[in-house]
Amino acid sequence: MAKLSVNINKVATLRNSRGGDYPNVVEFAKDIQRFGAEGVTIHPRPDERHIRYQDAYDLKPEVYTEFNIEGNPIEKFVEMILEIKPTQVTLVPDAIDAITSNAGWDTITNKSFLYDIISTFKANGIRTSIFLDPDLKQVEGAKQTGADRIELYTEEYARQYKKGNKHAIKPYVEAAALAGEFGLGVNAGHDLSLDNIEFFKQEIPGLLEVSIGHALIAESLYLGIENVINMYLNKLKF
């Protein structure tokens, strides 16, 4: 069964829009774990437009499931990770002005940089995952960095699935299979939803974890957060 990690960035966006502390992201994280979520994901960015760096510190003592922190390993981010020591850090090559994640790492060009960063995190007992396009050469490059896992960037799959093109799953199946041969664990995230998650899970049997935020929070506006979390858990159990 793939684990469900809920990305709570959108909750922080809602909080920040009014300048106060409601909804409180720590209380929300506690609630979603109580409702069955098996992990909490945050993705602080340098401009702190949603999750703030302080939120990461505040969440640490309250996340008793898996704590996954995503981000570009700039100096401030690396310092925070080493202080908090989350269960997992997911490295994402975000441009500073990116609205959302829009590409995986070039693990070949950035091999030395990623190797050094990953070595530091692993020496501190932190599992490391690399955000990756479903490209076999990039999977091979990820293996050379010493990463524990890859997170498949699933935006293109989600876009094509919505159009009825289920063949778009093929590169993800191939990338996951190669990762398995290399001993890399496989996570996935970006635009996964109640509509497309079940098929993705069925086609990627070794899937360990999905990180879902935007769609899950949007679906919860209609269906309720506790109900939506359990709907995801049901779709991921087989």
CATH code, domain with 147 = 3.20.20.70
Name the residue range of residue 132's domain: 3-236
Q: How confident is the model at residue 96 (pLDDT cuts 50, 70, 90)?
A: low
Q: How confident is the model at residue 164 (pLDDT cuts 50, 70, 90)?
A: very high
232 with 216: CB under 8 angstroms? yes
Orientation angle between helical segments 225-236 and 25-34, nearest 10 degrees? 50
Q: Is 98 a residue whose pLDDT tops 60?
A: no
Total number of residues shown for the chain: 238
43 is catalytic: yes
**Options 38, 43, 66, 219, the catalytic residue:** 43
Give the separation between CA 123 and CA 80, rounded to whole angstroms: 15
190 is catalytic: yes
Question: What integer is the mean pLDDT of 4-32?
Answer: 97
Query: Which residues contact residue 26 at a Cβ distance below 8 angstroms, ignoring those fewer than 6 apart?
Result: 55, 58, 59, 62
**Options 151, 190, 209, 219, the catalytic residue:** 190
**Plot region of 164 (φ>0 → left; ψ -120 to 50 → alpha; else → beta):** left
| pLDDT score for 205 | 87
What pLDDT, in 10s, does the model give residues 115-154? 999 999 999 999 999 999 999 999 999 999 999 999 999 9
User: In the beta sheet, which residues pair with residue 69?
Assistant: 42, 89
| pLDDT score for 97 | 59
Show the tokens assigned to 147.
């990463």
| pLDDT score for 93 | 93
**Options 38, 50, 66, 70, the catalytic residue:** 70
Q: Is 85 a residue whose pLDDT tops 60?
A: yes
Task: Give pTM, 2 decimals.
Answer: 0.95
| pLDDT score for 137 | 97
Q: How confident is the model at residue 102 (pLDDT cuts 50, 70, 90)?
A: low
Dihedral, 234, 192, 11, 95 alpha carbons, nearest 10: 150
Radius of gyration of the chain (CA): 17
Half-sphere exposure of 227 (CA within 13 A, CB side): 7
Question: Nearest 5°: phi and psi at 134?
Answer: -75, 70
The sign of the torsion formed by the CA atoms of 235, 209, 77, 58 equals positive
| pLDDT score for 238 | 74
Number of domains the chain contains: 1
155 is catalytic: no
Question: What integer is the mean pLDDT of 71-83?
Answer: 96
Q: How confident is the model at residue 231 (pLDDT cuts 50, 70, 90)?
A: very high
What is the separation of C-alpha 97 from the centre of its chain, rounded to a whole number of angstroms? 19
